[in-house]
Amino acid sequence: MEEILFDDSRCDGCGGSPLCREECPEKAVEVVALPSGAPSIGQVVLVTGELAQCASCGATFMPERKLAALLTRQVITAKPVHAYCPACRRGQLLDRYMEMLEGGQDRGRKSEA
């Protein structure tokens, strides 16, 4: 069981452009300034559950529940690459595309013969 935590004592708001807010695929992060003198809330558990591991590099990249929901809603359309983190997924998609292009060229050569 894994947890994704938020610790307000470690957050500096990314200099006014919070990366968490900008990069959240759900647009579920809202950043608000606390009043001066407000007590720290410390660590807060944001997500609990198993995290999916990339089939290529082994990095954890997403809660398995979220991955299952994306696949159900078909937000991720290339299902053979759903087991890869975003960095490895780009490489897998590029490899598949290049194979497809090369396969089309091979078929074209056979029909010319």
Per-residue pLDDT of the chain (113 residues; tens, 9 = 90+): 778 788 988 888 888 888 888 887 667 888 887 788 888 888 998 878 888 889 899 998 888 888 887 777 766 555 667 788 888 888 888 888 898 898 866 555 555 55
64 and 44 in one domain? no
Q: What is the pLDDT of residue 109?
A: 53
d(CA 75, CA 69): 9
72 and 29 in one domain? no
56 and 45 in one domain? no
d(CA 113, CA 110): 5
83 and 107 in one domain? yes
80 and 25 in one domain? no
109 and 69 in one domain? yes
DSSP codes joined into one string, 9-63: GG--GGGGS-HHHHH-TT------PPPTTPPP--EEEEEEEPEEE-TTT--EEEE
Number of domains within the chain: 2
102 and 73 in one domain? yes
d(CA 109, CA 112): 5
Q: What is the residue range of 34's domain? A: 1-49
57 and 45 in one domain? no
